[in-house]
Amino acid sequence: MTSDLAEHAGERVALAGWVHHQRHLAQVSFLLLRDASGIAQVVIAEEARRASAATLPAESVVEIEGTVVASPQAPGGFEVHDPAITVLATPAEAPPFELRRPTLNAQLPSVLDHAAVALRHPKLRAAFAISAASLAGFRSTLDAMGFTEIQTPKIVGAATESGANVFGLDYFGRRAYLAQSPQLYKQMMVGVFERVYETGPVFRAEPHDTVRHLAEYVSLDAELGFIRDHRDVEIVLRSVLAGMVETISERAAAAVAQLGIELPRVPAEIPRIHFHDAQLLIEAATGERVVGEPDLAPAHERWLGEYALAEHGSDFLFVEGYPMTKRPFYTHAQPDRPEFSNSFDLLFRGIELVTGGQRLHHYDDYLSVLAEPARVALAGYLEAFRYGMPPHGGFAIGLERWTARVVGVPNLRQVTLFPRDVNRLSP
Amino acid sequence: MTSDLAEHAGERVALAGWVHHQRHLAQVSFLLLRDASGIAQVVIAEEARRASAATLPAESVVEIEGTVVASPQAPGGFEVHDPAITVLATPAEAPPFELRRPTLNAQLPSVLDHAAVALRHPKLRAAFAISAASLAGFRSTLDAMGFTEIQTPKIVGAATESGANVFGLDYFGRRAYLAQSPQLYKQMMVGVFERVYETGPVFRAEPHDTVRHLAEYVSLDAELGFIRDHRDVEIVLRSVLAGMVETISERAAAAVAQLGIELPRVPAEIPRIHFHDAQLLIEAATGERVVGEPDLAPAHERWLGEYALAEHGSDFLFVEGYPMTKRPFYTHAQPDRPEFSNSFDLLFRGIELVTGGQRLHHYDDYLSVLAEPARVALAGYLEAFRYGMPPHGGFAIGLERWTARVVGVPNLRQVTLFPRDVNRLSP
């Protein structure tokens, strides 16, 4: 790999990749070879080889055998001399972008339209190395805590959680839906494995074209039993986030350097504020009337992000106790203030990143909150509670939201390989 | 956890789980406590506590504090004495099955209808511990080989691979489809990361109700660039299978013991046979005329499985060179016999487990095999080749097929938490 040159100084090595760029000077030619790990400078001195290399357009696929030489001027401190170049494939035409530029000079729609080639740009693909490392960190942290990975269906018979924004499909002549989350299934599986997680696609027929919404995204879900309340869930979530950051720094260090970003620091204890107290603070600070509102506006979440940084030095803040009126049917109330819930949002730099909380676990409680048609539609789910379920709770992290915040880009489409939204269904 | 008792002999411990079964003898009661790790025997001697425990129906959710005592008669050699029992939840009625039986006495449709409770049976859930470990082994093996995990869309604009058996959906007023595989996306991403994998759901509107087909299953996909031919893909696949088996034995040893199964041995080199030679052998052995047929019948795959075991002592056999007529459009021909392909099936104990091979990588080759409408529908995919792609190939393992074979059950529904088929859409 081009990233290994330093370990092979003086040796003859075989590299393979794409012709990223060439410069032809009077006496010598420089060929930049790009592979999955980075870029190597190849120096061509011999005249016939220079002439031959000069015929290779950018994005030619080549194998290069050459000698590794230390060179202070070369990127990375090493370059390849005396190369023998074998061409494996030649592009049919020049790419729509100049991939050699430090930053890709193109508008987002054009980048997305031409993803197969745009994603080859080192800065664009770096975000996806961070995404992959985040996934690995999510799983390894939970594996170490005794969680079992599960796979639950994405085609479901009932539009369960809300009914809104759900994709319908024809399923062998019947109506079916794409799952908006694995919520109900992961709860059922707490009855089997106590602690479970799933990483997979979820689907929302979100009609609004915003930077914060996708019609399909990757949800990192966890659920655990035998908790006291939502605080136990928050503790697991904190460990998971710390594990994700640690795995990024271990596995995607090159991508972090490529992007010049600073990874978030997850405090040993993430500060918490009750929803009601947050509203009081916001009122006091802004003069706006917000107490009594059932949710926080994005501007107020941003204000709380600044508050958490100023007051606690933290990029993260738990807002606990959202009003029951805005939470889904399975939400557990706050025992001493039942208009509020044992649920939380985690704000990361002032933007909602994770939603979680404690769920109802008594069968009778579900019978109280669900009307008859819902009880019928959710019969298989309700069986878990009918036959005994422990106190439990969990959370869901949107992978693209996480990656976007870590990378520092505003639009989720910038951290999605092939995004889906109200206007986009290809490539 | 109940599996940790031996490490806490003489200590007071806290356990939590479900009342699996109780036996009340003249002087003493035995309560079997089931948690995610196994079953512990709890001995209740004190009269008032015996009376109280006797009121707890099976599947009551309890916390138990007690003292760990070595006892040769107890399952696992240790039991819990002098317990204090706290009830967390009480089932509303008796489960439809007696979970305490060593084997669940129920027909598969009933098991699937009542998955939330049936999966609590230790033997049923064991298969899913093996499935989770298999996934972990797939990923860790490929991570160590420089692969990058990717997430590609499950909603697609064109029914790409075949057009048959595809689920359609309404996508904001347009026609869309559920992806039958991540094949085209993983190829595109070879141009970005060289080596990629994805684990996720795929969808087939399979109208046949057989033990071998599901409408939704989990596909373990890998694709790698800069190969010589399909043989390089086979080598990676062998390592992946070995890694999956190794991870099962490390992470799911209790499940393996629970099921009493023997894990497959993956040979250092999996034997290979060319499709044409396989047909000649089958003809010679069975007298049936099969040369010229474009595919192998299940009975012939079984015959080859026995042949591989007898001839090579191997549970696995690569069948290489399937005729081009039966392979998808991106299949690379065998250079010296172009009616055959550089593709393979991997048979595991006589059943097809994996399909893989080398793909076309030259843009012109794709123009030759795709008609104009397909070129338009696949424009985003074809860009990868238009701008230079290396020789590449890959494979896809069906997770449920793998787990079913490892566990030794005939029906994929037995290793799927919530299976989807032509008749089943819930729970």
> Which CATH number is B2-94 given?
2.40.50.140
Q: Name the amino acid, one letter, at A13.
A: V
pLDDT, tens digit (0-9, with 9 covering 90-100), for A369-384:
999 999 999 999 999 9
Q: Is A364 exposed, middle or buried (0-12, 13-18, 19+ CB in 10 A)?
A: exposed
Nearest to B420 among A125, A155, A201 (CB): A155
Separation in Å, CA of A391 to nearest CA in chain B: 7
Separation in Å, CA of A99 to nearest CA in chain B: 11
pLDDT of residue B161: 66
Sequence-separated (6 or more) residues with CB below 8 Å from residue A306:
A350
∠A133-B36-B252 over CA atoms, to 5°?
Answer: 60
- Measure Cα distances from B26 to A129, B29, B58, B71 in Å: 64, 8, 20, 19
- Farthest-apart Cα atoms in chain A, separation: 84
Q: Name the amino acid, one letter, at B42.
A: V
Please, which residues bridge with residue B315 across strands?
none
C-beta of residue B67 within 8 angstroms of C-beta of residue B82: yes
Q: Name the amino acid, one letter, at B392.
A: H
Task: Show residues of chain A in contact with B359, CB under 8 Å.
Answer: none
* H or E element at residue A185: helix A183-193
Distance CA(A40)–CA(A32), nearest Å, equals: 6
Q: Is A213 exposed, middle or buried (0-12, 13-18, 19+ CB in 10 A)?
A: middle
Task: Show residues of chain A in contact with B185, CB under 8 Å.
Answer: 417-418
Cβ-defined contact of A117 to B387 (cutoff 8 Å): yes
Task: Find the residue in A nearest to B90 (Cα).
Answer: A388
CB interface of A with B, residues 272-291, below 8 Å:
none
With H, G, I as helix, E, B as strand and everything else as coil, classify residue A332: coil
Percent with pLDDT over 90 in chain A: 97
Cβ-defined contact of B152 to A60 (cutoff 8 Å): no
B61 touching A (Cβ < 8 Å):
yes
Give the pLDDT band (50/70/90) at residue A158.
confident
Cβ-defined contact of B191 to A117 (cutoff 8 Å): yes
B109 touching A (Cβ < 8 Å):
no
- Measure Cα distances from A140 to A238, A247, A325, B171, B314 in Å: 14, 9, 35, 35, 33
Q: Is B258 exposed, middle or buried (0-12, 13-18, 19+ CB in 10 A)?
A: middle
Q: In this structure, what token pair is assigned to residue A163? A: 């009914």
pLDDT of residue A67: 98
pLDDT of residue A162: 64
Angular region, A302: left φ>0, alpha ψ -120 to 50, beta rest: alpha
Q: Please state whether the predicted TM-score (pTM) of the whole model is above 0.95.
A: yes
Distance CA(B221)–CA(B254), nearest Å, equals: 28
Nearest to A125 among B192, B203, B426 (CB): B192
Predicted complex ipTM = 0.97
Q: Is A153 exposed, middle or buried (0-12, 13-18, 19+ CB in 10 A)?
A: buried
pLDDT, tens digit (0-9, with 9 covering 90-100), for B125-162:
999 999 999 999 999 999 999 999 999 999 999 876 66
pLDDT, tens digit (0-9, with 9 covering 90-100), for B291-302:
999 999 999 999
Nearest by Cα to A115 from A97, A88, A94? A97
Separation in Å, CA of A196 to nearest CA in chain B: 10
Cβ-defined contact of A417 to B151 (cutoff 8 Å): yes
Nearest to A36 among B132, B169, B194 (CB): B194
pLDDT, tens digit (0-9, with 9 covering 90-100), for B181-222:
999 999 999 999 999 999 999 999 989 899 999 999 999 999
CA A161 to chain centroid, in Å, comes to 22
Nearest to A116 among B169, B191, B423 (CB): B191
Separation in Å, CA of A398 to nearest CA in chain B: 13
Cβ-defined contact of A63 to B226 (cutoff 8 Å): yes
CB interface of A with B, residues 128-187, below 8 Å:
128-129, 131-132, 135-136, 139, 143, 146, 148-158, 167-172, 174, 176, 178, 185
A200 touching B (Cβ < 8 Å):
yes
Size of interface A-B (CB pairs under 8 A): 273
pLDDT, tens digit (0-9, with 9 covering 90-100), for A104-132:
999 999 999 999 999 999 999 999 999 99
Nearest by Cα to A243 from A314, A140, A345? A140
Q: In this structure, what token pair is assigned to residue B146? A: 């420089």
Q: Are strands B61-70 and B38-44 parallel, antiparallel or unpaired?
A: unpaired
Task: Show residues of chain B in contact with A18, CB under 8 Å.
Answer: 388
A336 touching B (Cβ < 8 Å):
no
CB interface of B with A, residues 399-418, below 8 Å:
399, 417-418
pLDDT of residue B164: 78
Chosen CATH of A122-153+179-415 out of 3.40.50.300, 1.10.1040.10, 3.30.420.40, 3.30.930.10 = 3.30.930.10
User: Domain spans of chain B?
Assistant: 2-94, 122-415
Chosen CATH of B122-415 out of 3.40.605.10, 3.30.930.10, 1.10.10.10, 2.40.50.180 = 3.30.930.10
Task: Average the pLDDT over A260-278 and give the result.
Answer: 97
C-beta of residue B116 within 8 angstroms of C-beta of residue A183: no
Percent with pLDDT over 70 in chain B: 99
Task: Show residues of chain B in contact with A425, CB under 8 Å.
Answer: 155-157, 171, 174, 176
pLDDT, tens digit (0-9, with 9 covering 90-100), for A279-326:
999 999 999 999 999 999 999 999 999 999 999 999 999 999 999 998
Best of B192, B208, B362 to mutate (most A CBs within 10 Å, chain A): B192
List strand residue ranges (DSSP E) for A287-398, in order: 316-320, 343-348, 351-359, 392-398
With H, G, I as helix, E, B as strand and everything else as coil, classify residue A197: strand
CB interface of B with A, residues 75-104, below 8 Å:
88-93, 95
pLDDT, tens digit (0-9, with 9 covering 90-100), for B12-23:
999 999 999 999
Best of A143, A218, A219, A387 to mutate (most B CBs within 10 Å, chain B): A387
Task: Average the pLDDT over A258-268 and give the result.
Answer: 96
Separation in Å, CA of B97 to nearest CA in chain A: 11
What average pLDDT is seen over chain A?
A: 96
Sequence-separated (6 or more) residues with CB below 8 Å from residue A384:
A187, A188, A190, A191, B116, B117
Separation in Å, CA of A285 to nearest CA in chain B: 42
Best of B151, B224, B232, B401 to mutate (most A CBs within 10 Å, chain A): B151
Nearest by Cα to A353 from A287, A420, A308, A387? A308
With H, G, I as helix, E, B as strand and everything else as coil, classify residue A6: helix
Give the pLDDT band (50/70/90) at residue B326.
confident
Q: Look at the alpha carbons of B71, B77, B81, B87 in this order and tell me if their dihedral is positive or negative.
A: negative
- Measure Cα distances from B275 to A4, A127, B346, B356 in Å: 40, 43, 12, 14
Domains A2-94 and A122-153+179-415 are alike in CATH topology: no
pLDDT of residue B158: 84
Cβ-defined contact of A146 to B207 (cutoff 8 Å): no
pLDDT of residue A160: 64
Percent with pLDDT over 90 in chain B: 97
B424 touching A (Cβ < 8 Å):
no
Instruction: Tell me whether the omega of the peptide bond preceding residue B427 falls within 30 degrees of 0, making it cis.
Output: yes
Q: CB-hemisphere CA count at 13 Å for B365?
A: 17
Q: In this structure, what token pair is assigned to residue B238? A: 């062998």
pLDDT of residue A417 exceeding 70, the answer is yes
